[in-house]
Each structure stands twice: as C-alpha cells, then as structure tokens.
Amino acid sequence: MKVTDPELIEVFDNFAFDETLRHTRLDARIRLMVQQTLAAVSLLAGKMQEARELLLGTLNYAPGSKDTEFLANALEMFACTDADLGDMPQAARLAGAAEALRQRAGIPLPQPDAALLERFLVPARAAMAPGMWDAELAAGRALTQEQAAGLLRSAAHRG
C-alpha cells in the first residue's frame, strides 16, 4: 500500500499516530492502551522508530502503575524493538520478565501477541550462542515486578 498509495498512508499515519492521540478525550489508561496497540501495529509494519516513540510515550504509566498486563505488554514490545536493534540478551531478559509477570498473575498471552513476539524473538534466539538465550530468559524470569519495571526503564533509555 505504501508504494501504491503513499498519500493515503501519510493521511493514515497522521491520523493514527498523531492527531488521534493528541485530540481524543479518552481517559489516560485507555489512551495509553491505544498507544500500545498502535506501537504493535508499527512493529508489524516494520516502523521501529515509530513503535519505539509510541512505547516511550507510555513509560510514565507502565512501570509504576501496578497494571501487570500493561507492564507485560510493554516489556514484550520493547523486547521486539531490542531484538530488531540487535540487543538479543536484553530482548531475552525483557521477554523472560514479561513471561514471569504473566505467569504469576495468571494472565495468558493472547495469540496475536504471541505471534508478534515469535516474529522478532525467534531470529534473535537463533543469533545467540547456544544456552545464552535461555540464561538471559531465566534472568528475566527471576525478576520481581518492580525489578521488571526497572529493566523496562533501562531498556527505554537505551537505543
């Protein structure tokens, strides 16, 4: 579509990533959920910078919110961006932290989210030395929710 109708894509991008978020009357949590969803769409479209900017816009909420599912989603999406940027160990730690949060809270990983993670993390795992991915994943799983939030903050301030 970007090749065949670049003007439509520009209008959509302005609407979805700029105007809508600035001019909505949604409460803060809903707006941040929309922002996180748009970040996932950006990841799928290969727009890493847009995805990262959208995710960075959620950081004031995600780490300290006690909203475990939102935090897990943020960790997973930053795992995708870090994998794409070539930081496979950090991607594994973020993914492990998200997995542990979901498991402890009894929050299943929805299939579309699992597919998104697989798209970015399978190649990242393959690029690491045998056993290294599992060690980093285990390190992430061992984190408390507060430590996972700290890992998210550190991931966000890199790259």
Nearest residue to 77 via CA among 103, 38, 106: 38
pLDDT level of residue 12 (50, 70, 90 thresholds): low
Note the pLDDT of residue 133.
Answer: 97
Please state whether the predicted TM-score (pTM) of the whole model is above 0.85: no
Cα–Cα distance for residue pair 136/128, rounded to 1 Å: 10
List, for residues 120-149, the tens digit of each pLDDT value.
Answer: 999 999 999 989 999 999 999 999 999 998
